[in-house]
Structure 1
Amino acid sequence: MGRRKQHGEKSRVVEDKNSASMKIINQSALGIRSLSSLPIDVMSRISYPFVKSFEKYGTINDVQEDTIEFDYQPRFVFSCNSCLCCMKSCSDGIVCQFCQMVVYCTEKHKKENLKKHEEICKIFTEVCIKNGGLSLAENTRGDDYRILRVKLIEKIQNSARRPLSLWEKEIILYPRVCAKCHRFGNDLKPCSHCEMVLHCAGHENEHLKWCPEYRLYQKILSMQYKHGNVNPDIPNVICEDSKILPNNFDSFIFEIYSSSLYYRIMDCYTYATLSHVSTVPLTSLYAFQKSRANWSTNDSCTIHVVGAEFQFEGLNLHVWEKLFMHLQPNLKSLHIVLTGPELYVPDVPLDLLGKVPLCSRCRKSSRKIKVSYVSRKLYHEYCRTSDDYVKPDLICLFNPGLYRLTGYNGTDTWPETIREACNSTAPIVVTAYTEHEIPRDIERIQSICDMSFILKPQRNPYASLKPDRNFVSDDTVPLIYKNYYISIVKKCL
């Protein structure tokens, strides 16, 4: 449930008030050697300390309207080589002597967690140790390894007579086994660099391709556990001329943020989160610019987001103003239509939920952003039966997994949705988690409608930089990112 929050009138600050010399002193105190004249990527920020507050670094918003604010706290995430109490990496941790599936950084934390772990530990020991459940994972690959883990979860839930929480399932989904051969045992060693991946003797270097990204993921999990959710500030920069997006998120953020101390000291968790909340509007704008020759002269734009998730596309709606509308001075009206059968809409009046607070300059210019939530309805049902249907200028399918034949309620509902989307003649942008998925999604569309490429499948320069683990194809791509690959197609006329 959201809560209403009154924003006081604040002056917009784009440049820091501190002098250049003060900025250098502050950076030195934070361990940052010098001012950078180049973009700072997320990997370079791993050693930066957490940024506790952005207000003292400038770039404060001037919004003063009533808005709905949702306070979602991140859930606990299990990591096989992180202390179950404090999420500290455990190079020399104390592994539970019974289930051998969780680790602690100290005996103190092990004792503190004993009662919480005791019940599930007995079941893990029975199902996975005494019956050799996890031992069966050795040298098991692909779907067989995934099926084994799913079956183990089913057995554990039956024994516990309750559903496992998400973090408990992760103990089985991402267990303490060798990353290469999946051997289970208490003699495994953690990688000395990322401290997240375990390996047998002789398999130390098998994950080097992914090691830096695992290190980033571990750092983000640790900061998330300690500090909770972060809400990165986005500068209230309004372009006088239409902004053509560069082919790189780091370059774009540098262009609008480089004068800010907040940008230069931003830690990897905050920066990755900034990319995560920005990927929807920036990917949309990137696709809009690639697919429409007159994009910079449009005074209105309607975007349909198909198969939307509330906590991904339905939150952080303020970014549409700053990272879509502010970059197009001729745009006066933006309408976002979120549709999806599993789109959960909180018990809040929709007129408030879809109200995007605008800065004073946009209000004075009578600019408007409208967000429509079409929940619990398939996209083709919205197009065919809704009285408030609005023709789109762009249709977005973010990470839809079109190639999967089992979707909503275990049925394949995509053909009718794809057919309806193609009938609109609007450009269709499709994103995917992996290089393997994106061509299969496009093939699914082309099997139903005759489509031509505006943009062939490629890496999305505005993908999220916030990693997550991949269960679907973890043998080839263990870490995934929202909107990582992109393609744009249009119906052949």
Structure 2
Amino acid sequence: MGIVPPVIANSHQACYHCFKSRNVKLQRCSRCHRTAYCSSECQKANWKSHKGICNALSTLGKEPSQLLLAHNTSKSLPLGLEDLTKRDTVQKLQLCERILSRETNVLERNLLCWEPRCLLCIRTDQTLRIQEKAGALKPAGARLTPCPTCRLSFTCSPEHWNLVKDFHSSTPCPDSPFGLSQCQTNSLIFADSEFEAAHQQANTQGGPFQWAPKRTVERWSSLLDPERSTWETEFGELFEREMGVSGPSTDSVDAKTKLRAASEGLSMIVTILWALEKLNEGDEAWTQKEILEIHVSRSLSLFDSMVFEEILHRLPEVKTLKLVFCGPEVEMYVPPYRLGRTVEKHLCPSCRRSGRKRVYTHYAETYHDFISAQGPKYVVPDLAVAFNTGASQDDVDSWRETMDMLVDREVPSVFTAYHKEEALEEQEYLSEAGARFVMEAKINPWGSMLMKIEPYNVYGYFATNGWIAGMFKGRR
């Protein structure tokens, strides 16, 4: 399937094939109008993967009766229309899959989920074209115009832009932990998407940009200090020194953009350390343990990453880091012969000289099934962590069973979520399970700095580990 195009390509602001966004003139696909290319060569190279969804979208464009054409006709901002945009998108997905006679793939779903919409009336280019053909719009009025500053928010007319531009440009976004407006947040996302695209194109092995600090500290230092509880104060200088960047770099990507990218993977690690400190506040014995055991439930995209070594680098007195990964998805990443086996992973020269170890064990089962299967051999870890579970949306009954067992076994635990709504819903589930909270739902200071635009909506963002859903130990 190839590299998944970044949001700027799904929003007509970069070539859908090569992802170039600077000094190029983009032309839309003449059939579906949902992709744009910088050259006929790029369009031809992309045609094989685009052909199916192109045909489906073109068919939808000829049958306006099948589309949800309802839109906001008031002069107020459509902050309550998320359900309508989601319903519209889900309907289009279902219709496309019916035309294709198969499920859509991730590239095809992204085209629909991140389809540009007017900030005020939530109409799309496709809706505008249909209304133009029906005589409801003036000729040449059937295309959205991007914000001239961020290029990732859109309006369908100068009138609508005048009504929303102050809100878009000046009002702090409730979903942004940085206190930025939608326009400012979009501008960061645009820069992040350009860097992501360039990195993926240059990295023949694929995968996101990662950075694992090389240094080993002499002693543990607190992450609870509000003066240092930011990515820039904790990692900025170290990142610039180890990566050899300071301010604008030779590849036109500044250090802050690269640090935001690095925070995506490091967020798991620093959240683990922060949660351990919070759950053991006032007692640093956990920082001096011979063996530190952490159980990670389900979130596995970086389970084999070197970033986990940062836990040892921050805890110089710990000799062995034992990581247990559980989740039905494990079998997608780990061959069957390695399931249940403890594997020692590679370490940096400094850790090897100190006789330290990093060992992994993987189980292709839910965490509550893992506990049950272990029986009397189950050892309560120093921390059980569940990253971005979506527990309020998917596998709800299974996650509730895990929550109940974590509470009953008095396992020190932390759950993270992508955004506030998820965090509050999962906090409610944990409360119903009887969890004794050390921390209820709140913004995670160590959530990823890479903000992402919410699918379906014209407003809203989420981030990996952006919120703590609950940090708890035992039953209240």
TM-score normalized by structure 1?
0.74
> Quick one: distance in 2 between partners of 1:203 and 1:452?
49
Structure 2 residue aligned with 1:213 = 185
Structure 2 residue aligned with 1:309 = 299
The Cα shift of 1:480 comes to 1.3
Structure 2 residue aligned with 1:324 = 311
The Cα shift of 1:418 comes to 0.9
Given that 2:299 and 2:387 are in contact with CA atoms closer than 8 Å, whether structure 1 keeps it comes out as no
Establish whether residue 189 from structure 1 lines up as the match of residue 166 from structure 2: no
Structure 1 residue aligned with 2:452 = 468
CA distances 1:332-378 after superposition (whole Å, capped 9, x unpaired): 12111111123333327538994321123322322222111111x12
Report the CA distance shift for 1:80/1:230 in structure 2 as closer, same or farther (over 3 A).
closer
The Cα shift of 1:299 comes to 2.8
Report the CA distance shift for 1:362/1:101 in structure 2 as closer, same or farther (over 3 A).
closer
Task: Looking at secondary structure, tell me which structure has more helix per residue.
Answer: 2
Structure 2 residue aligned with 1:203 = 160
Higher mean C-alpha displacement, 226-235 vs 248-257: 226-235
The Cα shift of 1:324 comes to 1.1
Given that 1:340 and 1:379 are in contact with CA atoms closer than 8 Å, whether structure 2 keeps it comes out as yes
Structure 2 residue aligned with 1:39 = none
Structure 2 residue aligned with 1:368 = 357
Structure 2 residue aligned with 1:442 = 427
TM-score normalized by structure 2?
0.77
Structure 1 residue aligned with 2:474 = 491
Structure 2 residue aligned with 1:76 = 5
Structure 1 residue aligned with 2:411 = 426
Report the CA distance shift for 1:196/1:87 in structure 2 as closer, same or farther (over 3 A).
farther
Report the CA distance shift for 1:142/1:369 in structure 2 as closer, same or farther (over 3 A).
same
Please tell me the residue identity of whatever aligns with 2:308.
W
> Quick one: distance in 1 between partners of 2:56 and 2:243?
51
CA distances 1:63-89 after superposition (whole Å, capped 9, x unpaired): xxxxxxxxx974234512233233344
Structure 1 residue aligned with 2:133 = none
Structure 2 residue aligned with 1:300 = 291
Report the CA distance shift for 1:267/1:137 in structure 2 as closer, same or farther (over 3 A).
farther
Higher mean C-alpha displacement, 206-215 vs 270-279: 206-215
Establish whether residue 239 from structure 1 lines up as the match of residue 220 from structure 2: no
The Cα shift of 1:129 comes to 4.3
> Quick one: distance in 2 between partners of 1:137 and 1:173?
17
Establish whether residue 126 from structure 1 lines up as the match of residue 59 from structure 2: yes
Structure 1 residue aligned with 2:37 = 104
Equivalent pairs, count: 410
Q: Which 5+ residue runs of structure 1 have no aligned equivalent?
A: 1-71
Please tell me the residue identity of whatever aligns with 2:261.
T
Report the CA distance shift for 1:244/1:144 in structure 2 as closer, same or farther (over 3 A).
same
The Cα shift of 1:268 comes to 5.3
CA distances 1:308-349 after superposition (whole Å, capped 9, x unpaired): 13314x231x2222x211111211121111111233333275
1:313-462 correspondence runs (5 A): 314-316=303-305, 318-321=306-309, 323-343=310-330, 344-347=332-335, 350=338, 354-375=343-364, 377-386=365-374, 389-404=378-393, 406-407=394-395, 412-449=397-434, 451-462=435-446
Higher relative contact order (CA 8 A, sep 6+): 1
The Cα shift of 1:136 comes to 1.6
> Quick one: distance in 2 between partners of 1:236 and 1:131?
57
Please tell me the residue identity of whatever aligns with 2:97.
Q
Given that 1:81 and 1:195 are in contact with CA atoms closer than 8 Å, whether structure 2 keeps it comes out as no
SS at match of 1:242: coil
CA distances 1:20-70 after superposition (whole Å, capped 9, x unpaired): xxxxxxxxxxxxxxxxxxxxxxxxxxxxxxxxxxxxxxxxxxxxxxxxxxx
Given that 1:74 and 1:224 are in contact with CA atoms closer than 8 Å, whether structure 2 keeps it comes out as no
Given that 1:81 and 1:190 are in contact with CA atoms closer than 8 Å, whether structure 2 keeps it comes out as no
CA distances 1:134-160 after superposition (whole Å, capped 9, x unpaired): 562533922232122112112112212
Establish whether residue 144 from structure 1 lines up as the match of residue 84 from structure 2: yes
> Quick one: distance in 2 between partners of 1:189 and 1:419?
50
CA distances 1:101-131 after superposition (whole Å, capped 9, x unpaired): 3333456755776676555434312213432
Match of residue 175, structure 1, among 115, 131, 156: 115
Higher mean C-alpha displacement, 135-144 vs 344-353: 344-353
Moved over 6 A (4+): none
Establish whether residue 154 from structure 1 lines up as the match of residue 94 from structure 2: yes
Given that 1:432 and 1:483 are in contact with CA atoms closer than 8 Å, whether structure 2 keeps it comes out as yes
Given that 1:433 and 1:485 are in contact with CA atoms closer than 8 Å, whether structure 2 keeps it comes out as yes
Given that 2:419 and 2:467 are in contact with CA atoms closer than 8 Å, whether structure 1 keeps it comes out as yes
Given that 1:302 and 1:390 are in contact with CA atoms closer than 8 Å, whether structure 2 keeps it comes out as no
Given that 1:79 and 1:196 are in contact with CA atoms closer than 8 Å, whether structure 2 keeps it comes out as no
Please tell me the residue identity of whatever aligns with 2:218.
E
Given that 2:217 and 2:315 are in contact with CA atoms closer than 8 Å, whether structure 1 keeps it comes out as yes
> Quick one: distance in 2 between partners of 1:106 and 1:345?
37
SS at match of 2:441: strand
Structure 2 residue aligned with 1:38 = none
Q: Which 5+ residue runs of structure 2 have no aligned equivalent?
A: 73-77, 129-141, 170-180, 201-206
Given that 2:438 and 2:471 are in contact with CA atoms closer than 8 Å, whether structure 1 keeps it comes out as yes
> Quick one: distance in 2 between partners of 1:239 and 1:393?
21
Report the CA distance shift for 1:370/1:131 in structure 2 as closer, same or farther (over 3 A).
same
Given that 2:295 and 2:381 are in contact with CA atoms closer than 8 Å, whether structure 1 keeps it comes out as yes
> Quick one: distance in 2 between partners of 1:261 and 1:272?
13
Given that 1:279 and 1:462 are in contact with CA atoms closer than 8 Å, whether structure 2 keeps it comes out as yes
Report the CA distance shift for 1:123/1:436 in structure 2 as closer, same or farther (over 3 A).
closer
- CA-based RMSD of the aligned residues comes to 3.0
Given that 1:137 and 1:148 are in contact with CA atoms closer than 8 Å, whether structure 2 keeps it comes out as no
> Quick one: distance in 1 between partners of 2:53 and 2:385?
42
Given that 1:128 and 1:135 are in contact with CA atoms closer than 8 Å, whether structure 2 keeps it comes out as no
SS at match of 1:453: strand
The Cα shift of 1:189 comes to 0.5
> Quick one: distance in 1 between partners of 2:371 and 2:100?
45
> Quick one: distance in 2 between partners of 1:92 and 1:359?
46
